[in-house]
Amino acid sequence: MEGLRHTRTHDHHHDRGGSGHRHEGEPSRASRLRHRLAHLATPHRHEAGDKVDAAMETSREGMRTLWISLAVLGVTTVVQAVIVALSGSVALLGDTIHNAADALTAVPLGIAFVLGRRAANRRYTYGYGRAEDLAGIVIVATIAASAGLAAYVAVDRLLNPRGLTHLWAVSAAALVGFAGNEWVARYRIRTGRRIGSAALVADGLHARTDGFTSLAVLLGAGGAALGRQTADPIVGLLITVAILLVLKDAAREVYRRLMDSVDPALVDTAETALRGVDGVLDTGQVRMRWIGHALRAEADIIVASHLTVVQAHELAVAAEHALIHAVPRLTAATVHTDHPPTGGDPHAALAHHGSRPGAPA
């Protein structure tokens, strides 16, 4: 029936009583059989407990990634800090500051992953997944602060130059910094993309830039070996520029997540899946948003106008089910059923509120 909405985050029941005969637009017995066979070929579950378990599993994976990368970066930072104290290299100091900041970003992300495990309640009805987005803001602020500190130290050394010592140790520390950061970057980006965490991907990009800035320290050491004392602070300034570039990329990712941005290809996938449901005549508006590293969706579908409430509800269930299968990391969807226009706007009662189901954003 027109205006029927279906929102479910618990188990999908596929065997329902009906009227004993099939109407146009109602799923056929053959399509139901195909659907059950597909279930046998692709084992899955959609109960609320399973979804909570899946969310907790991705959070655990994120926490494991954070702890391991924190340990690797911690060792890298300690090694570089010792060499900084011996050599007085500004470029290596800037790299060490950046590595330390990168390691410390594990703290807000870890807090966010722990909060994200908490169940939804009457105040936070969508749960605590947004804590990840807040952690992304903290990460961006940390990157900005590390850029400012690296720039300050580099400029101060340009104004007050002094020689470097232990150049071989500086070079070795630069190579250690590159190896540690590149490993952490790959690990964080891979995990972040797998669990859908924009904050963790941003943190991985941050670590990758740290790796390349570590290599830049070699240039400063080489220049100092050739008697160019300004080479070290100049490389420190170049490292600052590199930090600002990764700041831009990380800020863009976090901004898009905060603004509920999704890949348009996901919307295309959702619309295709909805149109493929037997009984769905067309689709209306489809909306998606990230909550932490999980997706939620709202979708309008057009169904035959003569369907009963039970039959329309069956189609809403089938539509949500198709979405969950088609869209990665989608945990729930709200499906609104409409019928083809029969004269007049069926949502006219909502017009004076400035929005209605199916209306353009």
Q: Give the domain ranges of the chain.
A: 5-43+262-353, 48-258
The token duo for 339 is 């019928």
Span 260-289, mean pLDDT? 93
Contact 94, 239 (CB under 8 A): yes
Q: How many percent of the chain have pLDDT more than 90?
A: 17
70 pLDDT more than 60 = yes
Max mean pLDDT range (14-28, 172-186, 344-358): 172-186
Q: Which of 124-133, 146-155, 186-195 has the lowest mean pLDDT?
A: 146-155
262 pLDDT more than 80 = yes
Q: Which of 117-126, 153-162, 290-299 has the lowest mean pLDDT?
A: 153-162
Span 79-99, mean pLDDT? 79
Q: From CA 102, how far away is CA 105, in angstroms rounded?
A: 5
What's the confidence (pLDDT) of residue 282? 92
End-to-end CA distance of the chain: 24
What's the confidence (pLDDT) of residue 323? 94
119 pLDDT more than 70 = yes
- Protein fold of 48-258: Alpha-lytic protease prodomain-like (1.20.1510)
What's the confidence (pLDDT) of residue 346? 65
Tell me, letter by letter, the H, E, C secondary structure of the chain. CCCCEEEECCCCCCCCCCCCCCCCCCCCHHHHHHHHHHHHHCCCCCCHHHHHHHHHHHHHHHHHHHHHHHHHHHHHHHHHHHHHHHHCCHHHHHHHHHHHHHHHCHHHHHHHHHHHCCCCCCCCCCCCCCHHHHHHHHHHHHHHHHHHHHHHHHHHHHHCCCCCCCHHHHHHHHHHHHHHHHHHHHHHHHHHHHHCCHHHHHHHHHHHHHHHHHHHHHHHHHHHHCCCCCHHHHHHHHHHHHHHHHHHHHHHHHHHHHCCCCCHHHHHHHHHHHHCCCCCCEEEEEEEEEECCEEEEEEEEECCCCCCHHHHHHHHHHHHHHHHHHCCCEEEEEEEEECCCCCCCCCHHHHHHCCCCCCCC
Over the chain, what is the mean pLDDT?
76
**108 confidence band (pLDDT: 50, 70, 90):** confident
What's the confidence (pLDDT) of residue 18? 39
β-sheet with 282-291: strand ranges across: 5-8, 330-338, 294-302, 282-291
Span 162-181, mean pLDDT? 79
Q: From CA 272, how far away is CA 143, in angstroms rounded?
A: 40
What's the confidence (pLDDT) of residue 238? 82
What's the confidence (pLDDT) of residue 50? 36
The token duo for 188 is 């964080």
Q: Which of 5-9, 201-205, 282-286 has the lowest mean pLDDT?
A: 5-9
At 185-223, the pLDDT tens digits run 888 888 888 877 777 787 787 777 777 777 777 777 777
The token duo for 30 is 């053959």
**Is pLDDT larger for residue 109 or for residue 283?**
283
Q: How far is CA 330 from the centre of its chain?
A: 13
164 pLDDT more than 80 = no
16 pLDDT more than 50 = no
Do you know the residue count of the chain?
361
Max mean pLDDT range (18-32, 60-74, 207-221): 60-74
What's the confidence (pLDDT) of residue 347? 65
Please give the CATH number for the structural domain made up of 5-43+262-353. 3.30.70.1350
Q: φ, ψ for residue 294 (rounded to 5)?
A: -125, 145
User: Would the CA dihedral through 44, 120, 124, 122 be positive or negative?
Assistant: positive
